[in-house]
Structure 1
Amino acid sequence: MTLHTCISAGTYLLGKIAADALPTLVLGLLRFLIAGAGFLVLARIRGLDLWPLARADWRTYLWLGFLGVALNQVAFLGGLAFTLPSHAALLYALTPTVVLLMAWARGQERPGPRKLMGLVLAFAGVVVLLAGRRGTAALPPRWILGDLMILVAVVAWAGYTVASRPMVLKHGAQRATTLSILFGLAVFSPLGALGLPRLHPASVPPMAWLGLAYLGLMTSVVSYLLWFHALSLKEPSRVAIASNAQPVVTALLGWIFFSQPITLPFVAGAALVAAGVLLAQS
């Protein structure tokens, strides 16, 4: 999960460059075309038989594909184009809290008073972040819309995490991840194709193509496999807590490499979110 956290921090930074240069729908389509090809190659190397599993549980994998690819990616990549990478990473630190709430609703976990207080603190941190000064030059003009879209992506990813665990335990991490990605690609492809007329490859800078490759291979293959391998070993809320370190790592990398300022509202919101999710998982 330490490796997953480091890869995810790079996702926000390089993904931001790609999201600024490529249409959102096209970026999502190309990302998961790369990821789908990567997973199929890995499955072929290992000799994994996927299609009997796909036929037996196609409804579940269709739902997972919608949550983890279609809804999550439209909201994440669209939101990333409007907000700062540090904001996206901070909001994704709410993942353990949202996972805990969903697991509670499904009867999988029973949070006590400490965990409930953690939920309150974590969401207070989001409120502080969203209430930051709109006029500051450090923030893009539509950052609030971007942050709200990222929140939708967080909820979709949390649902994907909770709903995926039975398939991970039943079919193994690689099979479950591969099938959810392929079903998600099938769901997303018609929507992604709508953005192709807006793609002008000659105007896309090299760093954006690099960001796309990173999203397709490192984030959507390596990082997903790490996430679901961990999910096969631990309950969803324990796995999700690894996202707590992502805001700090992303903000530091953004400050070092892209001169993105670390503002007071961000620090305050990050402190509340970190305290909340740590208390919720204690």
Structure 2
Amino acid sequence: MLISTAPGRPRFGHAGGMGHRNFRFAAVMGLHTFISAGTFLLGKTAADTMPTLALGLLRFLIAGAGFLLLARIRHLDLWTVARSDWRTYLWAGFLGVTLNQVAFLGGLALTLPSHAALLYALTPTVVLLLAWARGQERPGLRKLGGLALAFSGVLVLFSGKAGRALPPRWILGDLMVLVAVVAWAGYTVMSRPLVQKHGAQRATTLSILFGLAIFAPLGALGLPRLVVAAIPPMAWVGLIYLGLMTSVVSYLLWFHALSMKEPSRVAIATNGQPVATALLAWIFYGQAITPAFAVGAALVLGGVLLTQL
């Protein structure tokens, strides 16, 4: 809708503003989705060769340093904000860093990247239930239908990857990834008020730093088992990717998305991760794309679009 304030100088009204906002949200979540897909693939190389606790500690030391540098460049006041909401940031750090990372990295070392991506497709369901329980959202039939459609697409997408293709430890790995999903969903729901109050970068930085403070003593226990000489180069690449791309860029994109949309809409957009994971696995590892991929991808994208209308 155009509203003219002067001849020859139209400006966009509400409809144009909403269109721009939706486009920006789609761009943010699209980039987040592909970065997260890379996390499952490159993170696997690091998780296979590094002790889980040591990997988590190194990852968030890199991320913490990156966030502190960004905060210093932008002259952000972190101390005042931290004192005002330290209890909430403590819980957010525990869920988003300590519990999520121990469960995710440990589970990823025991199962396949595609299976971890499939389990993470449960995130919107858990987020919606938690947000509903906290009174942040009241889901309608369209949103519930879109969520069901997207998840059905994920099931179709990976219908051919049955237990035969998985290592014997897959049950424990799957359970650990499921714990990580619940922790991430709780982190998402708890973080939205912090983002709205303090902004995406402050909220992300403080949740990472609080989480690192909680995790550091536990992560230090894994350092004696870290044999540097035995770690292949691709595992170091995976660690850097986890520390910078996943824990800095991806977290900032996630928090920025939370400033634009309610938690369940942000979470449902991540159902594209299994599709992106399969595409990247095809491009870089030559894993075949079956007809189930096309059907599953269409269902996933259709479900995501339905929830965003």
**TM-score in terms of structure 2 length:** 0.81
1:12 and 1:157 map into 2 onto residues whose CA distance is: 15
Summarize the alignment of residues 261-280 of structure 1 with structure 2, pairs less than 5 Å apart.
none
- 2:130: which partner in 1? 102
Q: 1:19 to 1:134 in 2, by over 3 A?
A: same
Shift of 1:142: 1.4
Residue of 16, 34, 59 corresponding to 2:62: 34
- 1:158: which partner in 2? 185
2:226 and 2:294 map into 1 onto residues whose CA distance is: 37
2:55 and 2:107 map into 1 onto residues whose CA distance is: 13
Say whether residues 1:74 and 2:80 are aligned partners. Answer: no
2:296 and 2:224 map into 1 onto residues whose CA distance is: 39
- 1:236: which partner in 2? 263
- 1:112: which partner in 2? 140
2:183 and 2:113 map into 1 onto residues whose CA distance is: 19
Structure 1: segments with no counterpart, 5+ residues: none
Shift of 1:113: 4.0
2:87 and 2:160 map into 1 onto residues whose CA distance is: 40
- 1:63: which partner in 2? 91
Which amino acid in the other structure matches residue 43 of structure 1? A
- 2:215: which partner in 1? 188
2:92 and 2:59 map into 1 onto residues whose CA distance is: 17
- 2:285: which partner in 1? 258
Return the structure number with greater relative CO, CA threshold 8 A, min gap 6: 1
CA contact (8 A) 2:34 2:276 kept: yes
Structure showing greater radius of gyration is 2
Which amino acid in the other structure matches residue 63 of structure 1? W
CA contact (8 A) 1:72 1:157 kept: yes
- 1:148: which partner in 2? 175
Q: Per-residue CA shift, 1:200-226, capped at 9, x if unaligned? A: 000000110010000000110011111
- 1:134: which partner in 2? 163
- 2:11: which partner in 1? none
- 2:227: which partner in 1? 200
Residue of 216, 228, 242 corresponding to 1:215: 242
- 1:47: which partner in 2? 75
Which amino acid in the other structure matches residue 178 of structure 1? T
Q: 1:177 to 1:58 in 2, by over 3 A?
A: same
- Paired residue secondary structure (2:259): helix
Shift of 1:78: 0.7
Which amino acid in the other structure matches residue 81 of structure 1? A
1:130 and 1:158 map into 2 onto residues whose CA distance is: 25
Q: 1:261 to 1:23 in 2, by over 3 A?
A: farther
1:255 and 1:16 map into 2 onto residues whose CA distance is: 16
How big is the alpha-carbon RMSD for the aligned residues of Structure 1 and Structure 2?
2.6
1:141 and 1:277 map into 2 onto residues whose CA distance is: 33
- 1:8: which partner in 2? 36
Shift of 1:55: 1.3
Structure 2: segments with no counterpart, 5+ residues: 1-27
Q: Per-residue CA shift, 1:117-136, capped at 9, x if unaligned? A: 5666677788897996433x
1:210 and 1:20 map into 2 onto residues whose CA distance is: 13
Shift of 1:275: 7.0
